[in-house]
Chain A
Amino acid sequence: MIEVKDLVRQFTSGDRTIKPVNGVSFTLERGAFASIVGKSGSGKSTLLSLLGALDKPTSGDVVVDGVSLAGLPDSKLTAYRRKDIGFVFQQFNLVPNLSALENVMLPMEFAGLGRAARKTRAQALLERVQLDPEKHLRKANRLSGGEQQRVAIARALGNEPKLILADEPTGNLDEQTGEHIVELLSSLSSESRTTVLVVTHDRGLAQKTQRRFRLQQGVLREEAPAGA
């Protein structure tokens, strides 16, 4: 379970103070598939980076399975990202000179998994995201956008994380490929009981999630479930 308690992140720009995240609180149960929608610049990505320990909040706390992130040193936060979090970026962020397989193996290498084990697991994950086996050894920069996003999702699943944070996962994809990626994320939450939180401004994608939040001027409100 992930609990967000009165989270604030503020930046100073010249003599102005900006608060893209201003007192955000919510709770997500394990296996939830949720989305955060909002306009560009509303603070969605900032909130996601705070949840994934890529950034530190100005105040407030994120508690994951009873462990507070606020008091953890950098080394523990790195371990948290390695074991408990899977990131899916809008720009995919694969290492371009590594193959699809090698990209998926990376987080497992950092977690200390043996070479043979991580290769077997990486192949299974690439098959799960339906990447053509003949493309497993292809360099990441030689794959299409949809293929790269599938590899990115497979990489995010490498260490069986508790939480997958996806920042505009369909933003750079065509509609059909985008729908497939959404189905993939949805099946992950239901089959593997992995919590999936998607940040998007695509209302179509948001409609497919179980819980929807709207971030406006740094304040988060949960929208009523569809049909309620």
Chain B
Amino acid sequence: MNVLARSVGNAFRNTIRTTAVVAVLAVAIGLALAMLVANQAVGDKVQELNASVGTVLTVNPAGGQGFEGGGEPLTAATAKTAAAVPHVQSVVSTKALRLRTASSTSSDTQGPGSGGPGGQGAAVTTSLQPAIDAGTLGNRNNSGSTGGTGNGGATQNRTFRLPITATGTGAEVDSTGKALNITSGAGLGDYTKASTKALVGATLATKNSLKPGSTFTIDGKSYTVAGIFDEGTEFGNNAVYLTLPQAQALAGTTGEVSSLIVTVDSMANVDSTRTALQSALGTDKADVTQGQRNLATAVSSLDSVKNISMVAFIASLATAGLVVLFIMVLLVRERRREIGVLKAIGAPNRTIGLQFVLEALVLVALGSVVGGVIASFASSGIASALVSSNTASAAGSVGRRGQGGGFGPGGGGGFLGGANQLLTSVNATVSPGVIALGIGAVFLVAIIGALVPALLTARIRPIEVLRGE
């Protein structure tokens, strides 16, 4: 029998006590691991949200409203100015176009959204059929613009088709700054050079039977489908992406851009950068907006969840450590005479310390196995409970602010309602790395908890321990 076998045997010397100790340790370790998993999951979510929407600002021409409105167009010089603002990580220029199906162009020029004076829209023809029907609203608007102009009492019945959005972009990102999700084929390569390659939305590709390598026309010129992307919505997928110079050439406005997508280096700097950017570009030249402004509030509440779970992890870990410490103090006191005998027959202090450390590790290993099982079942529920309770309070406060601030009834709350849905989708999965980290921390605490009382007792002269009995 060696020191390890003796330690394992000692751990099971009193079965009832061992069971009780393992049960208490399992609860503490399980809670600690669940909190660590929740912390990791929330941290990942915060990082994901920050990376996607939390740090993106959009710059539009002052007075411009999408394809409508007026004002002066943005230029490459504007993009250069924006890039020079502190904390700006990247600036992507885009140029938006509306594509109209070639056969419908003549009849649809008076349709809705055809572009007012100074608008950014530039309509060109394409061989593509839109993937979305105009629907009742679209046709009603269509008849509204031309209704009542009957010819001899007969109602003119025209077919209205929604335009297809073509966006020239300087990088492989969508309008929110997120990387395009290309589901088949490849990207456009160099987005700063004119090219006849295009990325086509999934529904648009299905509607027109397109796949990578297929061709279609814009303004009578043939384009090759390089890849198919998926933005996750019907409207988002009724679109085409081109390289920026190509879109500018099609619109006949070389050097002009419709909007800039500005990514800030961290969420903490978004507000200050937005102000600095607005000041650098001029309020009469550009509008700087943060599309997901109120999402930032919710993300900050997620940050507080992350902090709460980290505090709870440390508290649970400390509890597990205290349990181990108290148990080992108890065991060492109970076996003082045995320690004295071991010393009397020549056991070095390190052997005695090692024996008690291994005994504690056996108990902690058993507690970790049971605690790991508890954590695997409880972590998801704990993470969801923490997130929902915290984001609900955040939603309440933002919702009230939205109403009081005149943004429209439920405006802020409604928006955050969507954000909440996004936030509460925190997926707490038990990853081996996180579990190993947590158990490693518990083992470290157990080693210290066992070593301290064992070595303190082992340092005493054997006769004091033997006589003390």
Contact = CB atoms under 8 A, between A and B. Distances in A.
Interface of A: 49, 52, 54-56, 75, 78-79, 81-83, 87, 89, 93, 95, 97-98, 102, 105-107, 109-111, 115, 155, 158-159
27 contacts: A49-B463, A54-B343, A54-B462, A54-B466, A56-B461, A75-B348, A78-B346, A78-B347, A78-B348, A78-B349, A81-B344, A82-B345, A87-B345, A89-B341, A93-B341, A95-B338, A95-B341, A98-B1, A98-B9, A102-B1, A102-B6, A106-B342, A110-B345, A110-B347, A110-B348, A111-B346, A159-B346
A81 B461 CA distance: 12
Question: What 4 pairs across the A-B complex have the smallest Cβ distances?
Answer: A82-B346, A55-B463, A54-B463, A93-B341
B13 A97 contact: yes
Nearest to A82: B346
A106 B345 contact: yes
B397 interface: no
A97 B344 CA distance: 18
B181 interface: no
Interface residues of B, number: 23
A78 B349 CA distance: 9
B464 to A, nearest CB: 8
Interface in B1-49: 1-3, 6, 9-10, 13
A79 B345 CA distance: 9
B2 A115 contact: yes
Contacts of A89: 341, 466
A79 B347 CA distance: 8
Given A54-B344, A82-B345, A111-B346, 4 more contacts: A79-B346, A93-B344, A98-B6, A110-B351
A47 to B, nearest CB: 12
A158 B346 CA distance: 11
Given A110-B345, A110-B348, A54 B9 contact: no
Nearest to A115: B2
B337 interface: yes
A10 to B, nearest CB: 14
A107 B345 contact: yes
Contacts of A79: 346
Contacts of B351: 110
Interface in B243-258: none
Nearest to B6: A98
Interface in B435-469: 461-463, 466
A49 B13 CA distance: 30
Nearest to B469: A91
Contact of B345 (A55, A81, A98): A81
Nearest to A109: B2
Contacts of A109: 1-3
A95 B6 CA distance: 11
B373 to A, nearest CB: 29
A97 B9 contact: yes
B346 A83 contact: yes
A134 B461 CA distance: 36
Nearest to B348: A78
Contacts of A107: 345-346
Interface in B302-361: 337-338, 341-349, 351
A97 B13 CA distance: 7
